[in-house]
Structure 1
Amino acid sequence: MSDYPTESSDFAVQVVGAAIVDSLDGPRQILVARRSAPEALAGLWEFPGGKVEPEETCEQALQRELSEELGIESILGQEISGPLMQGWQLNDRAAMRVWTSEISAGNPQPLQDHSELRWVNLDETLLELDWIPADFPIVQTLLETL
């Protein structure tokens, strides 16, 4: 897969997510979040994040979402490039861009949309979690690139 998206896309909803690692310099673990809602996704694991508002850049939206959902501030690292201009397709209406991230302030708590947070080793055990199907290819790419 190329480092640069090659296919154009035009999704109505831009979503952003964070692959929060213990260290951007030498990542060994990732913080994953278990969804509490909606019912169809409850209990599945995902990258924390959310929708980009019209007045925000993707990076600003991700920082806001991490603050709202987990109560943290973070340093963004590299983007985990997806196959599309808008990142990774989630459904017919939405695509997600994902960045690596390291916590710079705060202690992560499941404040919104999540029932549990868990630090997981960045190895094959990460693939054993019950991921939201659209996030699974991103997890695989993350493991290949880190």
Structure 2
Amino acid sequence: MTRVVSGERIVAEAMTWLGTPYRHQGRRRGVGCDCLGLIMGVWDGVYGAVPEQPGAYAADWAEAGGGDPLLEATRRHCREKPVGEVAAGDLILFRWRPDLPAKHCAIALGESRMIHAYEGHAVLFSPLGSHWKRRIAGVFAFPELN
């Protein structure tokens, strides 16, 4: 039987990561994580395991790599939604410029706030204001539980 994962469940798991220090490639609650580590940690907390490992990546991977690996991986495992329908518990991907691949991710707390791991900070809440909204590369619903 398939069950829908509620946005509240995703948000509740993400909230347990608040205050986790920023650490590139980290994904340990309370120890350190980057934005992808936060998403993978939330995924692991809700589903019990992540669907795929990203492998090692440099801080400038999006500029140096080619393709759009974060967006492509997210499309493999989550359901894409219209940007205007962002809701609590949705995964949001961001790109810094239109010609660059998606490089940052967060979990929506609703239409106007998000939780994310941001370099130089711990996992925190941020407004999902125009500075962020114009950089959205995609909005995704987490998959259903089996």
Which of the five TM-score ranges fits, normalised by the shorter chain?
Answer: under 0.3
* TM-score, with length taken from structure 1: 0.26
Greater percentage in strand: 1
